[in-house]
Amino acid sequence: MPHLSQLQRDYKNKNVTIIGMTSLDENNSLEAVKKMVADKGDGIGYSIAWDVDRKTNEAWMAAAGQRGIPASFLVDQKGNIAWIGHPGNVDVPLAAVVAGKWDYVKGPEMMKAASRAKREIYTAAAKDPQKALALLEKFTADYPLHATNLDDLRFNILSRLPKQKAAAEKLGTKLVDKAIAAKSPSALNAFAWDLVDPGSDREERFLDLALRAATAASDLMEGKDGAILDTLARAHFWRGDLDKALKTQELAVEYSKGNMQAELKKVLAEYEQAIADKSNS
């Protein structure tokens, strides 16, 4: 959402319209979508459309053999489909189409090659961040236009390299500032959760950045989003502020429901046990 919202802002005077499609399923309804759009406000800077009876899905996704989401279709000025792929990669073909310079034969092949190179970076990032950094630098040199929106990936890599801590903090601050300026709770929460996720094997969690991002995300949602509150509580927990973690997690449970609420209750019990253990030690 932050990426597509920024693209719509960048191209607002160039006859570009970005549309996000959604449809009915067991976890989704028209009422829920309307509420989400209203709640996020400026956090969604592009159009959201409701796919009645999944007719658009059949005409586009099924017809193109696309089974996974997110998937994007770039339609040119004449109504032709110029490119199909992950929306995170749409910047390059979009710029070329708008400029009238898109090559309908070589362009998609170049995009496939760039995607393969990018996947190699992501694969290396978790296991060998030093290799991932080298691959990222090569990718930036080979595909400069593709590399313009890889700051999140760069931060993820730098943050796993002890010798790059200062560079990671600088870039992380830039990312948080950008997400706050864009009023994007989803981007802030994603950034913070990546740092505080208990399932991560991170040695350095950059907890000041995580807390700032999670706090800003929660403020944007008026402290009423269960998932974001869960992230904020975990940031407090890692910082050793168990009381704040507990109180924040209680709110996270309050503002969630269903399976999510059940999972957040387990985390609440974890914090309660941590406080009890501390009192008994």
Q: Are 220 and 43 in contact (CB under 8 A)?
A: yes
pLDDT tens per residue across span 119-130? 999 999 989 999
Q: What is the pLDDT of residue 40?
A: 80
pLDDT tens per residue across span 16-72? 999 999 999 888 899 999 998 888 887 788 999 999 999 999 999 999 999 888 999
Q: Are 43 and 185 in contact (CB under 8 A)?
A: yes
Model-wide pTM > 0.85: no
Name the token pair of 106: 């070589």
In whole angstroms, give the CA distance from residue 206 to residue 199: 16
Q: 165-281 domain in CATH 3.40.50.970? A: no
Q: Are 185 and 228 in contact (CB under 8 A)?
A: yes
pLDDT above 90 (res 148):
no
Mean pLDDT within 113-117: 91
Secondary structure (H, E, C), 148-163: HHCHHHHHHHHCCCHH
Q: What is the pLDDT of residue 12?
A: 87
